[in-house]
Chain A
């Protein structure tokens, strides 16, 4: 069965610090990869996605992610975080065998002003 691992459960950063959140998945076939964000009390919103092509993808609000197929990884990055980035971040994978998202356990990011 497919699984997604997010190794950072809770990250605390100061404003302007750089961010990198790890994500690894276990499926060996064709996958599409996503990062979703959930702001406090809100629903999930798409940050960015990877389907094919350039493994470095850019999303909204200055976020980017790099797909490294050999490492089964899709890490999320942002050069300089803001207080408004405080939220929970979910990595998710979908594969050809099952059209539903498999989510990681989430990373709670707290940005201190």
Chain B
């Protein structure tokens, strides 16, 4: 298995532009998570899906952020408009529903976003 795939790996954009991050989870996994890593706040959950349905989006910073999962093999995280404070590494992770949905999560390589 190729693991969790994220694209792009690096993104540099200017303030005000729209940014779309993409994730392909491991086949057969029914949980998908988006996390953000910054120096100031560490690793924090943005949103997670179960069977393509958003379950908890309480970590989404504001209306500029949106996430979708149109099918079991694809998810997007969109920022519109982007701001310099959105600069971070965005990780996607997936897991199975074993252990009551509290199973280990497999992480993608991350997307390093820089907003100028």
> From residue 15 to 36 of chain A, which have CB atoms closer than 8 A to chain B?
31-32, 34, 36
Judge whether B56 and A98 touch: CB under 8 Å: yes
Is B104 interfacial (CB-CB < 8 Å)?
yes
Known contacts: A99-B31, A99-B101, A99-B102. The answer to whether A43 contacts B109 by CB under 8 A is yes
Judge whether A103 and B50 touch: CB under 8 Å: no
Judge whether A90 and B104 touch: CB under 8 Å: no
Judge whether A43 and B43 touch: CB under 8 Å: no
Residues of B in contact, count (CB < 8 Å) = 25
Q: What number of A-B contacts does a CB cutoff of 8 Å give?
A: 52
Q: A-facing mask of B48-65, CB < 8 A → 1, else 0?
A: 101000011000000000
Judge whether B43 and A34 touch: CB under 8 Å: no
- A49–B106 Cα distance when bound, in Å, is 13
Nearest-neighbour CB distance to chain A for B116, whole angstroms, equals 21
Contact residues of A: prevailing secondary structure: strand
- A104–B45 Cα distance when bound, in Å, is 12
- A44–B115 Cα distance when bound, in Å, is 23
Partner of B42, one of A34, A46, A99, A103: A103
A-B contact pairs, 28 of them (CB 8 A): A32-B99, A32-B102, A32-B103, A34-B104, A43-B91, A43-B107, A43-B108, A43-B110, A44-B93, A45-B107, A46-B106, A51-B99, A90-B43, A95-B102, A98-B56, A99-B31, A99-B48, A99-B55, A100-B33, A100-B45, A101-B43, A101-B45, A101-B93, A101-B105, A102-B45, A103-B42, A103-B43, A105-B42
A binding-site residues for B, Cβ under 8 Å: 31-32, 34, 36, 42-46, 49, 51, 90, 94-96, 98-106
